[in-house]
Amino acid sequence: MSPWHRHRSGSGTSFRETFRNRKRSGSTEFLFSEIQNAFDPSSSFITTWQQLILGCILYELLLIPYMATFHSYDLTSSVQHDLLGMYVCELVFCVDIYVQLNTGYYEDGNVLRDTRKSRIKYLKSVGFVLDVLALPPLSLLPVSMHLSVVFLEFHKLSRLRRLPQLISNLDNIYARYFEPLKLAKVLGITIVVSHLVACGRFTFGYDSHHHDHWLPQVHEHEQSGRSKYLMSLFWAFGLLTGLFEGELPHTNAEFAFTIFVALCGFSLFTYLCATFFMLSKCESGDSETSEARVNQFKHILAFHRVPEKLQEQAVEYLKRYYTQAEANDREAARLLCPSISTDIQIELLRDTVAQIPVFEGCDSHFINAVTSLLELISCPAHFVLFQTGDHGDAMYVVSSGVLYTVINGVKVRELRKGSFFGEVAVFAKLPRSATMMTTTYSTLYRLSRFHAEKLLEGYPRYAQLISQTVSKMLQEAQTNEEDKISEIASAGAIQVQKKKKKSSLLQVIGLKTEQPVWRSKKSLTQYRVSNILEI
């Protein structure tokens, strides 16, 4: 083959590989054209179904060893009743095969919900083979055995391979109940291990010759299966926890089993200690680190003789920054990839951004774009965010804390979580008409004028719409202010000329429908004369 043909062949292979990788990477055109007729693996239905499957697997894990050990060889009424519960679980597992055939899966971080691909993936997996092999009810076969027929159902325990994944899913479902979930896992593992040890203990039988005191003595009357189980469970739980020492074993098998049970008990104790240690570190680790940072910062400020007022302000800011709930959110966001962090921010803030008047009439895509550009900042108490006459370089959305709008030293409006301000100054390119100051430690989402202008360049239709909305707001503010001036002039309060600055109109916009709280008539007159009117 000539070099030219080899080059063409290599180029074709490279192109096909690039095309295939592009498809796998989840580019926009492929994601929109992807068939989505399978169950979403993260939907509430699938999470609930997985919890049901987990319950059925644990039920059979406890039931099958119990029935094989403590029930008689014949199919009595009690045995048939217990087997009926197991067969109900088997019906659930039959439905589970259908659910797995029609459930999407993750590939390269993207959810694929094509039923055909999901079925091919599941049918080619080892899990499908094991699921099918675990279905036949072999205990219904007409066979005679010297052992319990339940031993024929031990092949159903092959489903235990799914336990790690199903249990790990609980951490995602019940993430809000982290501590109770961890403690429930410890309790559940202890119960399961004690149950299995009790079943294993009873397989050694009774002390029929009265010389092996490690074995239980033969009772005069026949005991029920539950009485035998409780007797073995008491021995197992006592030996696992160290509350009951038990008798000295006699045979090698008894010695090996006792040592194994002791090791299981030690492992459970280690697991319990590790769980409590992890929970304690989750509670105190962050607080200890933040306290150390605050103490170190205090020494630095005292060494440099910073004024006490500034020290208190700086220390309070640092404490709030590292101890409040948003500190944990901020640290968690750093561990996520930027795209996921942006998606979370959009989900939390898009409803608030959509309520801002200047964005009225904009669709969800534009609102999401605005929300993705918001930057989280923190401000200490008594911090001046901007002053009257400053350049309108950004708009803000309050995430936490309390802020005041101040005009000529008068607090005219209070802002809390969910409030917004500065939007007109950004889109109308006007100077600030008031001073904004924090009264407590506050966290704000900031949208700079630079990002706003870049965003409007990509959405020219909404740029025109926002411009019209801002102009309409300014005209309404001007009309309302002229009416107020007329009322004051007609009452003989002051004589004025109806000539206003552009910046004064922003002040009315900022007040919206809330009424300012005036301290006296004098402050009202000063406000009217110096900020709204030119005399």
Mean pLDDT highest for which of 93-107, 142-156, 301-315?
A: 93-107
Mean pLDDT highest for which of 142-146, 383-387, 529-533?
A: 383-387
The answer to whether 147 touches 73, Cβ cutoff 8 Å, is: yes
Residue 332 CB contacts under 8 Å (≥ 6 apart), including other chains: none
Sheet-wide strand order for 403-407: 384-386, 435-438, 403-407, 410-415
The pLDDT of residue 72 is 59
Q: What is the DSSP string of 255-319?
A: HHHHHHHHHHHHHHHHHHHHHHHHHHHHHHHHHHHHHHHHHHHHHHHHHTT--HHHHHHHHHHHH
The answer to whether 107 touches 125, Cβ cutoff 8 Å, is: no
- pLDDT tens across 394-425, in order? 999 998 889 999 988 888 889 998 899 998 88
- pLDDT tens across 227-263, in order? 888 888 888 888 888 777 777 788 888 889 989 988 9
Q: Evaluate if residue 93 carries a pLDDT over 80.
A: yes
When pLDDT is cut at 50, 70 and 90, the band that residue 75 belongs to is: low
When pLDDT is cut at 50, 70 and 90, the band that residue 371 belongs to is: very high
What phi and psi, each to the nearest 5 degrees, are found at residue 420? -145, 155
Cα radius of gyration (the chain) = 36
- CA atoms within a 13 Å half-sphere pointing along the CA-CB vector of 267: 10
The per-residue b/e assignment along 424-463, b for 16 or more CB within 10 angstroms, e otherwise, is bbbbbebbbbbbbbbebbbbbbbbebebbeebbeebeebb
Question: Which residues are bridge partners to 384 per DSSP?
Answer: 437
Percentage of residues of the chain with pLDDT beyond 90: 24
The sign of the torsion formed by the CA atoms of 126, 132, 137, 138 equals: negative
Please give the biggest Cα pair distance in the chain. 119
Q: pTM to 2 decimals?
A: 0.53
Mean pLDDT highest for which of 296-300, 328-332, 400-404, 477-481?
A: 400-404
| Mean of pLDDT over the chain | 77
The pLDDT of residue 497 is 45
Rounded Cα distance between 247 and 216, Å, is 10
The contacts found for 252-260 with CB under 8 angstroms, 24 or more apart, are 253/204, 254/204, 254/212, 254/214, 257/200, 257/201, 257/204, 258/214
When pLDDT is cut at 50, 70 and 90, the band that residue 267 belongs to is: very high
The pLDDT of residue 446 is 93
Q: Evaluate if residue 208 carries a pLDDT over 80.
A: no
For residue 293, give the nearest of 266, 329, 317, 270 by alpha carbon.
317
Percentage of residues of the chain with pLDDT beyond 70: 73
For residue 373, give the nearest of 451, 463, 460 by alpha carbon.
451
Residue 83 CB contacts under 8 Å (≥ 6 apart), including other chains: 67, 75, 139, 150
Token couple for 361: 């009439």
When pLDDT is cut at 50, 70 and 90, the band that residue 279 belongs to is: confident
Tell me the pairing of strands 375-379 and 435-438: unpaired
- CA atoms within a 13 Å half-sphere pointing along the CA-CB vector of 223: 15
The stretch 347-376 carries a mean pLDDT of 90
CA–chain centroid gap for 216, Å, is: 51
Residue 405 in 3-state DSSP?
strand
- Report the amino acid identity of residue 301: L
CA–chain centroid gap for 290, Å, is: 23
The answer to whether 396 touches 422, Cβ cutoff 8 Å, is: yes
The residue assigned the tokens 């008031």 is: 434
Rounded Cα distance between 364 and 500, Å, is 37
Rounded Cα distance between 470 and 428, Å, is 7
Neighbours of 515 (CB within 10 A): 8
DSSP letter at 73 equals S
The pLDDT of residue 386 is 92
When pLDDT is cut at 50, 70 and 90, the band that residue 530 belongs to is: very low
Residue 481 CB contacts under 8 Å (≥ 6 apart), including other chains: 500, 504, 505, 508, 532
The stretch 8-30 carries a mean pLDDT of 45
Q: Is pLDDT larger for residue 508 or for residue 112? A: 112
Q: Is pLDDT larger for residue 57 or for residue 535? A: 57
Token couple for 475: 């005209």
Tell me the pairing of strands 110-112 and 435-438: unpaired
Residue 270 CB contacts under 8 Å (≥ 6 apart), including other chains: none
Rounded Cα distance between 74 and 479, Å, is 95
When pLDDT is cut at 50, 70 and 90, the band that residue 94 belongs to is: very high
Tell me the pairing of strands 110-112 and 384-386: unpaired
The stretch 216-235 carries a mean pLDDT of 78
- pLDDT tens across 419-462, in order? 999 988 888 888 888 999 998 888 899 999 999 999 999 898 99
Q: Evaluate if residue 150 carries a pLDDT over 60.
A: yes
The pLDDT of residue 113 is 86
For residue 436, give the nearest of 484, 373, 481, 394 by alpha carbon.
394
For residue 512, give the nearest of 400, 358, 353 by alpha carbon.
358
- pLDDT tens across 468-513, in order? 998 888 888 778 766 666 665 565 544 444 444 444 444 444 433 3
Q: Which region holds residue 157: left if phi is over 0, alpha if psi is between -120 and 50, else beta? A: alpha
